[in-house]
Amino acid sequence: MDKAMPGGRLNLLLAGLALWYLSASFLLPVLQDEAYYFDWARHLHWGYFDHPPGVALLGLGVQWFPSTPLAARLGNVLAALGLLWAALRFYRACGLRGKTLFLALLLASTSFPGLTVGVLATPDTPLALCWVLALHEALKALRGARRHWLSAGLFTGLGLLSKYTMVLIGPVFLWALLWVDRKALRTPWPYLGFLLAVLVFLPNLIWNAQHDWISIRFQLGHGFSTTLGDAFRTPATQAPRDLIQDFSSLMGYLGMQLGLWGGIGLIALRFLPRLPRGMQILDPAARALLIAGSLFPLGFFGLVSFFSAVEANWPAPYLLSAAPLLALVLRTHWRWVLGGAAVNLLVAALLLYQGVTARLPLPDSQNRILRETHGFAELAREAAQLSGPIFSDRYQTIAQLRFYQPALRINQWPRWTRPSEYLRGTLSLPITPEEIQRAGGFWLLLSQPLTPVLAGYTSRNVRDLLDCPGKPLSPHTLCDQPLHRWRIIRYVPTE
């Protein structure tokens, strides 16, 4: 098919990615959503307010080594290494060899989602692993070993226990079946695979049914509406849209997806017209799965973008199917791909350096990693010195404080910010009015310099803490653009 690329380069790529995952996981402080998921790992259930339980299993290390980023992320690192192994096997099964196989894995693993999947513990990591494993088994089934629809169903069910967007692989399978093996629809195997997927996913469905479908309702509201919990609004309550807005939304969505490829994206876009010719070397089964696995997630969320904000990572599994297709047209330009991958790695390394040292003079809009990581360990030590129960306005702040101080009695104040698992009472013990009475009041930790008026309570001991890049947390620290302005207030019963 093409001149073979020495296997040593492939092994070097795999070793380099493993080193990147481990070193970045060790050096980077945990991000806010990661801390939230790690708190789930201390309280295992079949479901949570935001997601199914898969991501919680990745963080089991916090039960033995609390407040340690690498231990907390170790399950995620192992899942990402499993993803590399699964992708390599799948791409080989599709018929890729030598240079093309190397490029496919390089494209998939050095896109920005590929570089972060083994560092940041999110539901996207187990989703990606199950997505590739399900495609691998479906490929065997489409080639005649139809009993492999059972294993494809198994991995689909496990993917649904990781993230609900795994449901998008169902239409991918149906497309491939209609394209390649329609006769299989007259056999029991695809239906048994579907049944197995449902059975594996069933514990989360039962959990949702027992909890008013809270997780599924939240995700529908989050994914199909611009306002939380306002999913599927009637046209009469929506502001009218015009074609310019729709076109702008679609272009913004496509721009985000191009941005996920980073330096590789423009190179791939340049040679995309050659794709039909490059795909001729694939057999029908591989071609059907790779095309459907690329176009359906991308197209589905493209339609969603017309009426709802879409986050860049939602259709990200399509990258795993698109990478081998792009490798087929870029194999004669592999040095350009290496250059684009190097640019992506440099950007990721600079962001890691900034997250660890806070020394780069980046504008505030580019300092998201610092805002999500900086100062929370010190804030947790401050909170641990407070006597009595503590409330906070944001679940992200609570998660970070509990990561660094697992025994901290802190809960979310209701109705001020978006609800979370903390308001359901499964992640922390409820703070009762009797406990507040015995403690003579409570503390309120806010992410903004406000002092709310609370009926029945009087504020005391108002203290502000400024979090400046590269400086210790202090009420006296001054800087032009503080990352956080936290306010700690003592509330006592009004006499």
pLDDT in tens, the chain (495 residues): 455 555 688 999 999 999 999 999 999 999 999 999 999 999 999 999 999 999 999 999 999 999 999 999 999 999 999 999 999 999 999 999 999 999 999 999 999 999 999 999 999 999 999 999 999 999 999 999 999 999 999 999 999 999 999 999 999 999 999 999 999 999 999 999 999 999 999 999 999 999 999 999 998 877 564 333 333 333 444 455 567 777 788 889 999 999 999 988 777 777 777 766 767 789 999 999 999 999 999 999 999 998 888 999 999 999 999 999 999 988 888 888 899 999 999 999 999 999 999 988 888 778 899 999 999 999 999 999 998 899 999 999 999 999 999 999 999 998 888 889 998 867 767 788 888 999 999 999 999 889 999 999 999 999 999 998 878 887 776 787 889 999 999 999 997
* Tokens representing residue 358 in the block: 């806070």
In the prediction, which pLDDT does 306 show? Answer: 87
Torsional sign, CA 140, 143, 145, 149: positive
* Tokens representing residue 100 in the block: 């093309």
In the prediction, which pLDDT does 237 show? Answer: 44
Give the whole-angstrom CA distance, residue 36 versus residue 114: 22
Give bridge partners of residue 390 from the DSSP assignment: 410, 443
In the prediction, which pLDDT does 307 show? Answer: 83
Return the biggest CA–CA distance within the chain: 84
- Write the DSSP assignment of 177-226 as a string of letters: HHHH-GGGGGSSHHHHHHHHHHHHHHHHHHHHHHTTTHHHHHHHHHHS-S
In the prediction, which pLDDT does 174 show? Answer: 97
Which of 93, 136, 36, 56 is CA-nearest to residue 400?
A: 36
Which of 174, 169, 133, 178 is CA-nearest to residue 315?
A: 169
Distances (CA, A) of 471 to 352, 367, 382, 484, 487: 18, 15, 16, 12, 18
Give yes or no for a contact between 116 and 31, defined as CB atoms under 8 angstroms apart. Answer: no
In the prediction, which pLDDT does 370 show? Answer: 92
Which of 436, 437, 414, 439 is CA-nearest to residue 425?
A: 414
Other C-beta atoms lying within 10 Å of the C-beta of residue 220: 15
Give yes or no for a contact between 214 and 201, defined as CB atoms under 8 angstroms apart. Answer: no
Give the whole-angstrom CA distance, residue 177 versus residue 197: 17
Give yes or no for a contact between 127 and 162, defined as CB atoms under 8 angstroms apart. Answer: yes
324 backbone dihedrals φ, ψ, rounded to 5°: -65, -30
Q: How many residues does the chain have?
A: 495
Other C-beta atoms lying within 10 Å of the C-beta of residue 257: 20
Give the whole-angstrom CA distance, residue 296 versus residue 314: 12
Do strands 457-467 and 484-493 pair parallel, antiparallel, or not at all (unpaired)?
antiparallel
In the prediction, which pLDDT does 101 show? Answer: 95
Strand order in the sheet with 390-392: 410-412, 390-392, 442-446, 484-493, 457-467
In the prediction, which pLDDT does 1 show? Answer: 44
- Write the DSSP assignment of 402-432 as a string of letters: HHH-TT--EEEPTTSS---GGGGTSSS----
DSSP 474: B
